[in-house]
């Protein structure tokens, strides 16, 4: 075995310096030529260019060299194929054996890919007794090769299943092997594989059907069927399914698992018009071979995962500043798909969170199916809403539980969890810490006011506040642009989602107006608002279900006629329930003017609103807030909806910082159990029921101390 010397790059020497050629004195040409000795070809060159100096080849300079010390002037490092020792003797190099191993007998262990053509008479092989007969013993050297040890050559009769070393006396016509048992005390085992050139999966096509090929790559999926075990192998060319059959429903190669680097040999076949390899042999690679294959695969995946370089749908200084972060997140999501890592998409259960998630979903599902097959969505993707605008412990507990079950049942990797419209705040940290225990990677695309503490748990984080923006650039806007970086082909399909997100989150940012204008050719402002309301209404009843299908119809991603009928019906029902709730609540709202001039409206949603129905307390408080804002359009306004252990805040024209207020209340009121957050001027607070009066009183003081526009 040999490898190129890194110091001399295979030349065997190093250049010390260059000097003028002593023969032509640096001119590169000779003064005279003997035309009787010059060939016709050289004569033609001479007439065109003149006579070149033979010593320097016309360069006028010669190199002064010395043998490379590292390789001894050989240009290569040669090693013994058995023990790996360095070789320098020409005879040893030719034999590829050191002096010690040359005196040691080689015994070959045949790989499952080998056939009778790989057997040579006069060599030793490992075998297993397969069966016995009156005239001798049949020895299996691999599943495809069997030879006979005649009874006349056997001194002690072995039993079926015994391992032994055999000498191939002859290879007869028809591939019959004449074997002799040879117990050896000193030998070296050499694994012998089918001598096939290494192929790439990208080069395999229908024209190669029936060919034997050898592949090296990473196992990115193992799927047990009722028949064979399907290994999906990723190499620098792409992906290819490889079917290995032990027996019906039995796991083939049980020691080969996801993330391992393997070498396999098999026959190219077609299944449903797609190339598949019928595995003859597969083994795990380790050491240098593993590192080389992994490096090749990773290099290609890095290139394939590069995000698309496309302009944003609208002009935005904030988006331009966030672009590197968005590209990083897009790349990490694509890398997860290319590595067949499951993706869990967590989103806040409102219009902004839903549109954020659907944009990403539309981008990644085609890629997941391209790699894992049409049913890959059910194994490698899950979308789940979160009731709170942060990653709750209940959410992460479900995600970890499902991931561990899938790892046990399907041999899957731990997932990448993508948090959209949540994930940026301190409230997310307990769940993130649990996810980290199990090696789960986390990405966040959010517009809630961020806390730096979360970044240590994330592999990517996009938030407009990181570049001087605010919550007006919604998560739906950010996710739509990230989705386009992942898969530009879905641009037209999701073009309206940022606008739905903007009206659903009541964004007043310049970007909101631009996204709404972008969708105006297809949807009016009222139609966008109806979609947002329908999403909020339907998700309330869906609870923790993703609602796939019905959510797509609400967002006009299916049949347009169904979309129109469904949104119309849902909005009719939602508006009716909102009206009924407002009729109940408004007479019980208490309003007071604060010292900063703002009007604060207070509603006890526990006692003066319908419970366990739409709209929920947060939505109810928002609807009440809208009524008072319309009554006094110029006045700073705060609406506080509270229950036994929570308060929901909505505001207009009051410059609050709710996350900061939460931290201050937690410090000022020990024992109140204050937590929560949200946007700067829209959010929620939780506390213990017994401290409600103290918390709400102190909260009102802080609101009154805030500046107003």
Residue 44 has pLDDT above 80, yes or no: no
529 and 615 assigned to the same domain = no
E strands, 236-356, are 238-244, 261-271, 274-284, 343-348
Closest CA to 600 of 466, 493, 494, 697: 697
335 and 440 assigned to the same domain = yes
Interval 607-648: pLDDT, tens = 999 999 999 998 999 999 999 999 998 899 999 999 999 999
Whether 89 is covered by a domain: the verdict is: no
Lowest mean pLDDT among 279-283, 441-445, 553-557: 279-283
164 and 206 assigned to the same domain = no
Range of the domain at 495: 317-564
Domain CATH code at residue 206: 2.40.50.140
Whether 408 is covered by a domain: the verdict is: yes
Final residue before a domain boundary, out of 127, 157, 192: 192
For the chain, state the CA radius of gyration.
37
Kindly write down the DSSP assignment for every residue of 507-556, as one continuous string: --SHHHHHHHHHTTTT--HHHHHHHHHHHHHHHHHHTT---TTHHHHHTT
Residues 6+ apart with CB under 8 A from 503: 351, 512, 516, 525, 528, 529, 532
Cα–Cα distance, 353 to 536 (Å, whole number): 10
The pLDDT value recorded for residue 41 is 53
Residues 6+ apart with CB under 8 A from 39: none
- The reply to whether the predicted model has a pTM over 0.85 is no
Residue 32 has pLDDT above 70, yes or no: no
Whether 251 is covered by a domain: the verdict is: yes
Whether 250 is covered by a domain: the verdict is: yes
444 and 551 assigned to the same domain = yes
Residue 587 has pLDDT above 80, yes or no: yes
212 and 252 assigned to the same domain = yes
Lowest mean pLDDT among 4-13, 263-272, 327-336, 472-481: 4-13
Lowest mean pLDDT among 13-27, 153-167, 266-280, 681-695: 13-27
Residues 6+ apart with CB under 8 A from 235: 200, 201, 215, 216, 217, 218, 293, 296, 297, 300
Rounded to 5, what percent of the chain is helix, strand, coil? 40, 25, 35
H or E stretch at 640: strand 637-642
329 and 459 assigned to the same domain = yes
Cα–Cα distance, 672 to 688 (Å, whole number): 5
Residues 6+ apart with CB under 8 A from 157: 132, 137, 151
Domain CATH code at residue 658: 3.10.310
Q: Are strands 136-142 and 124-133 parallel, antiparallel or unpaired?
A: antiparallel
Mean pLDDT value of segment 180-200: 85
Cα–Cα distance, 442 to 421 (Å, whole number): 14
Cα–Cα distance, 381 to 404 (Å, whole number): 15
Residues 6+ apart with CB under 8 A from 54: 23, 30
Using an 8 Å Cβ cutoff, are 182 and 126 in contact? no
The pLDDT value recorded for residue 666 is 92
Whether 11 is covered by a domain: the verdict is: no
In the DSSP assignment, the letter for residue 280 is E
211 and 133 assigned to the same domain = no
> Nearest 5°: phi and psi at 10?
90, -5
Whether 580 is covered by a domain: the verdict is: no
Whether 71 is covered by a domain: the verdict is: no
Mean pLDDT value of segment 460-470: 95
Final residue before a domain boundary, out of 529, 549, 564: 564
Residue 518 has pLDDT above 90, yes or no: yes
Interval 297-321: pLDDT, tens = 888 888 889 999 999 999 999 999 9
Cα–Cα distance, 473 to 505 (Å, whole number): 10
Average predicted confidence (pLDDT) for the chain: 89
Mean pLDDT value of segment 692-696: 95
Residue 95 has pLDDT above 70, yes or no: no
Tell me how far the alpha carbon of residue 169 is from its chain's centroid: 54
444 and 537 assigned to the same domain = yes
Residue 39 has pLDDT above 60, yes or no: no
Lowest mean pLDDT among 69-83, 212-226, 676-690: 69-83
> Nearest 5°: phi and psi at 553?
-70, -40
How many structural domains is the chain composed of? Answer: 4
Cα–Cα distance, 546 to 671 (Å, whole number): 37
How many CB atoms are located within 10 Å of the residue 274 CB?
11
**Alpha helix segments (H runs only) across 317-471:** 317-338, 351-372, 376-380, 393-410, 429-437
Residue 45 has pLDDT above 70, yes or no: no
Lowest mean pLDDT among 49-63, 155-169, 653-667: 49-63
252 and 340 assigned to the same domain = no
Interval 533-550: pLDDT, tens = 999 999 999 988 999 899
H or E stretch at 177: strand 177-181
380 and 406 assigned to the same domain = yes
Interval 466-499: pLDDT, tens = 999 989 999 999 999 999 999 999 999 999 999 9
Residue 700 has pLDDT above 80, yes or no: yes
E strands, 5-116, are 13-20, 61-67, 76-79, 86-87, 105-110
Residue of higher predicted confidence among 599 and 53: 599
Sign of CA dihedral 124, 130, 132, 135: negative
The pLDDT value recorded for residue 344 is 96
Final residue before a domain boundary, out of 143, 167, 192: 192
Percent of the chain with pLDDT over 70: 95
Interval 125-164: pLDDT, tens = 999 999 999 899 999 999 889 999 999 988 889 999 999 9
373-397: b (≥16 Cβ within 10 Å) or e: beebbebbbbbbbbbbbbbbeebbe
Q: How confident is the model at residue 113 (pLDDT cuts 50, 70, 90)?
A: confident
In the DSSP assignment, the letter for residue 285 is -
Lowest mean pLDDT among 3-12, 37-46, 264-273, 670-679: 37-46
Q: How confident is the model at residue 63 (pLDDT cuts 50, 70, 90)?
A: confident
Residue 588 has pLDDT above 90, yes or no: yes
The pLDDT value recorded for residue 56 is 82
Using an 8 Å Cβ cutoff, are 603 and 589 in contact? yes
How many CB atoms are located within 10 Å of the residue 578 CB?
19
413 and 560 assigned to the same domain = yes
119 and 254 assigned to the same domain = no
Residue 47 has pLDDT above 60, yes or no: no
The pLDDT value recorded for residue 515 is 97
Whether 643 is covered by a domain: the verdict is: yes
Cα–Cα distance, 264 to 106 (Å, whole number): 24
């Amino acid at each position: 075995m040999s490898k190129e010397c890194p110091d001399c790059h295979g030349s065997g020497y190093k250049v010390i310096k260059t000097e003028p050629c002593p023969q032509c004195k640096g001119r590169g040409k000779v003064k005279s030529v003997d035309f009787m000795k010059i060939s016709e070809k050289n004569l033609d060159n001479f007439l065109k260019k003149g006579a070149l100096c033979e010593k320097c080849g016309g360069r006028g300079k010669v190199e002064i060299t010395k043998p490379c010390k590292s390789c001894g002037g050989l240009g290569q490092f040669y090693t013994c194929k058995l023990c790996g020792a360095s070789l320098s003797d020409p005879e040893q190099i030719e034999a590829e054996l050191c002096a010690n191993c040359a005196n040691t007998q080689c015994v070959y262990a045949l790989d499952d890919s080998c056939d009778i053509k790989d057997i040579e008479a006069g060599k030793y092989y490992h075998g297993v007794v397969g069966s016995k007969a009156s005239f001798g013993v049949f020895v299996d050297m691999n599943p495809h090769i069997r030879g006979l040890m005649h009874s006349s050559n056997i001194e002690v009769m072995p039993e079926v299943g015994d391992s032994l070393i055999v000498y191939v006396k002859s290879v007869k016509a028809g591939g019959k092997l004449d074997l002799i048992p040879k117990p050896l005390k000193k030998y070296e085992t050499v694994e012998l594989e089918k001598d096939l050139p290494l192929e790439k999966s990208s080069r395999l096509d229908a024209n190669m059907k029936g060919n034997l090929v050898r592949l090296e790559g990473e196992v990115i999926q193992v799927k047990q069927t009722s028949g064979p075990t399907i290994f999906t192998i990723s190499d620098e060319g792409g992906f290819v399914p490889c079917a290995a059959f032990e027996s019906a429903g039995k796991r083939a190669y049980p020691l080969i698992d996801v993330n391992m680097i393997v070498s396999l040999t098999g026959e190219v076949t077609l299944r449903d018009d797609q190339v598949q390899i019928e595995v003859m042999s597969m083994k795990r690679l380790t050491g240098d071979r593993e590192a080389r294959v992994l490096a090749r695969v990773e290099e290609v995946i890095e290139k394939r995962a590069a995000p698309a370089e496309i302009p944003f749908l609208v002009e935005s200084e904030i988006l331009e500043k966030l672009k590197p972060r968005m590209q990083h997140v897009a790349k990490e999501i694509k890398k997860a798909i290319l590595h067949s890592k499951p993706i869990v998409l967590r989103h806040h259960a409102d219009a902004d969170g839903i549109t954020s998630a659907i944009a990403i979903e539309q981008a990644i599902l085609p890629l997941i199916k391209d790699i894992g097959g049409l049913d890959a969505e059910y194994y490698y993707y899950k979308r789940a809403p979160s009731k709170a605008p942060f990653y709750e412990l209940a959410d992460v507990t479900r995600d970890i539980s499902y991931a561990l079950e899938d790892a046990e049942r399907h041999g899957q990797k731990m997932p990448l969890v993508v948090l959209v419209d949540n994930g940026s705040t301190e409230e997310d940290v307990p769940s993130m810490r649990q996810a980290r225990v199990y090696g789960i990677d986390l990405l966040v695309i959010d517009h809630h006011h961020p806390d730096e503490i979360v970044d240590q748990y994330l592999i990517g984080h996009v938030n407009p506040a990181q570049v001087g923006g605010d919550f007006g650039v919604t998560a739906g806007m950010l996710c739509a642009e990230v989705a386009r970086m992942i898969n530009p082909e879905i641009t037209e399909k999701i073009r309206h989602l940022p606008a739905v997100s903007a009206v659903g989150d009541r964004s007043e940012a310049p970007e909101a107006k631009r996204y709404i204008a972008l969708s105006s050719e297809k949807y009016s402002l009222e139609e966008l608002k109806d979609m947002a309301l329908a999403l909020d209404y339907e998700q309330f009843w869906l609870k923790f279900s993703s609602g796939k299908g019905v959510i797509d119809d609400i967002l006009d991603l299916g049949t347009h006629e169904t979309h129109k009928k469904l949104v119309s019906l849902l909005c009719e029902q939602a508006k009716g329930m909102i009206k009924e709730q407002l009729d109940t609540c408004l007479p019980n709202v208490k309003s007071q003017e604060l010292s900063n001039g703002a009007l604060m409206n207070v509603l006890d949603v526990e006692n003066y609103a319908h419970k366990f129905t739409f709209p929920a307390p947060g939505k109810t408080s928002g609807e009440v807030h809208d009524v008072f804002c319309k009554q006094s359009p110029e006045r700073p306004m705060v609406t506080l909806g509270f229950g036994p252990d929570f308060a929901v805040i909505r505001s207009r024209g009051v410059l609050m910082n709710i996350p900061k207020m939460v931290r201050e209340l937690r410090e000022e009121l020990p024992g109140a159990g204050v937590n929560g957050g949200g946007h700067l001027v829209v959010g929620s607070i939780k506390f213990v029921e017994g401290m409600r009066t103290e918390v709400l009183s102190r909260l009102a003081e802080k609101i009154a101390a805030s500046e107003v526009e």
